[in-house]
Every structure is written in structure tokens, then in C-alpha cells.
Amino acid sequence: MGELANCVRCDTVYVKTTRNICADCYQKEEQAFHKVYAFLRVRQNRQATLSEIVDATEVKETLITKFIKERRLHVKNFPNLGYSCENCNTQITSGKLCDNCINKLKDDLSTFEQMEERKLNQELTAEKKVNTYYAIDKHGK
């Protein structure tokens, strides 16, 4: 059974099941999707960019981006359709980050892991030196 929640769009109370928006907002979202999809189905509009779609349909860019991320609008059918990378604002068609940002993040993570490993090795070496005792022959024998 669902729980009571506030709609993230209009803040009305509704019974939450699988969506985080109420039924009224969901219907409005569906109407917006059909409006965007109808626009893109026209042959000359298939090359439209995100901003051109927003201008023509008056549907918010965030909502169109949501449709792309949910894979309701397939980017392979609309080659100029994409949204901004969350880090550098490069146009992408899937995920949250572009390939360059992902690779930079992986490199940074790898560098960090190497530094942590070196630090751990230095601590272990220093610990071994502290626990080592040296004997001095006072009598010179």
C-alpha cells in the first residue's frame, strides 16, 4: 500500500505508489510528452535541437531532458537532441557526465588511490623502523 507524500511539483498531498508526482501532474507531464513527440515526428523537426523544441512546444527544458534520461525519447532517432553534462555543459545523450569528464574522474580516482597506497606503505615502513632495536657492541669485540 502507498504512503502519503507531497507532490514535488505542486506540493499537494497524494498517495505515493511508484511516482513522486501526483496524478494531475502526471497527466500534465504526459500531455507535454505527447506534444514534444508529435513535434519530433514531423520529418523536418527531427533535426531540432533542445532549445528549438522548447521554443516550438513551450515545454520546459528540464522536462524534455527528463524524457531523454528516462529513454522515452530515443536520441538515435533525433541526432541533435541532447542535454548538458553536469560538470562541463558539453552536449551528451546519456548518463550525467560526458566521456571526457568520466575519464578525468577515473584518472583522478586512480591518482588518489596510488597516493593512498604510497601513504600506507610509508606508514608501514615507519612502523617497522620504530619497532627495530639495534645492539651496539661496547667492548669492540
Per residue in 1-14, pLDDT tens? 578 888 888 888 88
Q: Which residues of the chain have pLDDT under 70?
A: 1, 129-135, 140-141
Q: What is the pLDDT of residue 131?
A: 62
CA distance 50 to 122: 52
Q: What is the pLDDT of residue 130?
A: 65
Closest CA to 28 of 60, 68, 2, 70: 60
Residue 86 DSSP symbol: T
CA distance 68 to 83: 8
Q: What is the pLDDT of residue 134?
A: 64
CA distance 29 to 37: 12
